Amino acid sequence: MLILSTQQALSETFQPKVYRAPGRVNLIGEHTDYNQGFVMPAAIDFSTWVAIAPRQDRKLSIRSENFAEAVEIDLDQPATQGRGHWSDYPVGVAVKLEQSGHRLVGANMLVRGEVPIGSGLSSSAAIEVATGLALLENSDAKTDRVTLAKLCQQAENEFVGMRCGLMDQFVSCFGESGHALMLDCRGLDYHLLALPENVKLVVCNTMVKHDLANSEYNARRADCEEGVRLLSRKLPFVGSLRDITTGDLQRHKDQIPEVIGRRCRHVASENSRVLEAASALERSDLETFGQLMGESHRSLRDDYEVSCKELDLMVDLANQVEGVLGARMTGGGFGGCTINLVRSENVDSFKQFVAREYPEATGRNPEIYVCAAAQGAERAE
């Protein structure tokens, strides 16, 4: 009896618990989240998994299956900044949880990611959120999901050094299977939008990873802040680009340099597109939805300048195929993926066409994923 219960106690202590958090695809609303605007992402059926078991000390040993490597950190002597390593994401989350007042229990962790890395599908939010959930529950600590999403964002902003908005962490926490989220990044209110069954979300990976993505991303944020600063001199109600319409910009274009004006125009026009796209989806008007995706891509390419020739080509190819309702780059840009809304019956011919034409033009073999909108983070086992 005694032996049995000891065994049980041992296995309860050392048996890892597993947590899962998904990546995401954004249907529309790009580079609007950090301007307090609107976004429409869906969690996807690619996740990062974190297995965790407690230890007696205050060390975290984190092993990555993908990188076949482990790191160990002492929670009592944490680094304050990342070092450009995959472990920055989980370590950053641990550091931010501690700084926000949670006393974490040491742990052995194993991470397995199936979200393609550096492809704009937010493998970073997936590892952050899965780690956050795992560390909290391992320490018998609790926090609501909005706070968890914000702590993960803070880890990325302050520890990793990428000034991302909240969209990715939010949808990784709140995604619902079969639905996209219409999120207002100002008040963080959201509602679910059911995705129609007769179309598929097809994601095409250009297989281009741009090293400049982080620095250019941060530069775009700085442009937006400059736009707010300059415009608020004439328009005192402007606290973020969310408060600007394209009409305001037109009227006050002499107040801002041309490039900053284009950045602001993208954000203002994209916000209206997201609102229009949500109402199009609600009335099952997929044609309009698809057109708005196309406009979004052009605005990101010309005004915001975060596309690249491979993304543009991928969108052009998609637009040549029957049954494609809309196509655009998704995520931060400078490489990564496009999102394509494709009628179910045309998905196979779409895949064949892209798989043939894209390598011919670029010499790269694309990856194509037919994604389902998936459930947000959860305990998996």
Binding site for ligand GLA (CB under 6 A): 26, 30-31, 33-34, 122, 164-165, 167-168, 331-332
User: Is residue 206 within 8 Å of residue 355, measured between CB atoms?
Assistant: no
Residue among 34 and 350 whose Cβ is closer to ligand GLA: 34
Maximal CA-CA distance, the chain: 83
| Smallest separation, CB 25 to ligand GLA (Å) | 10
For residue 299, report the phi and psi dihedrals to the nearest 5 degrees: -70, -40
Closest distance of CB 122 from ligand GLA, Å: 6
Active site residue 168: yes
Smallest distance, Å, CB 221 to ligand GLA?
9
Structure tokens given for 155 = 């880890």
Q: Which of 168, 223, 243, 303 is flagged as catalytic? A: 168
CB 301 within 8 A of CB 334: no
Asked if 23 and 123 count as a contact pair (C-beta separation under 8 A), the reply is: yes
Q: How far is the CB of 27 from ligand GLA (least distance, A)?
A: 11
Cα first-last separation, the chain: 27
For ligand GLA, the closer of residues 165 and 326 by Cβ is: 165
Q: Locate all alpha helices (DSSP H) within 15-158, ordered by sequence.
A: 88-99, 123-138, 145-154
Q: Which is nearer to ligand GLA, 33 or 88 (CB)?
A: 33
Estimate to the nearest angstrom the gap between the alpha carbon of 268 and the chain centroid.
21
Residue closer to ligand GLA by CB (options 104, 182) is 182
What count of other Cβ atoms lies within 10 Å of the Cβ of residue 138?
Answer: 23
DSSP-assigned beta bridge partners for residue 72:
61
Could you give the residue numbers annotated as active site? 168
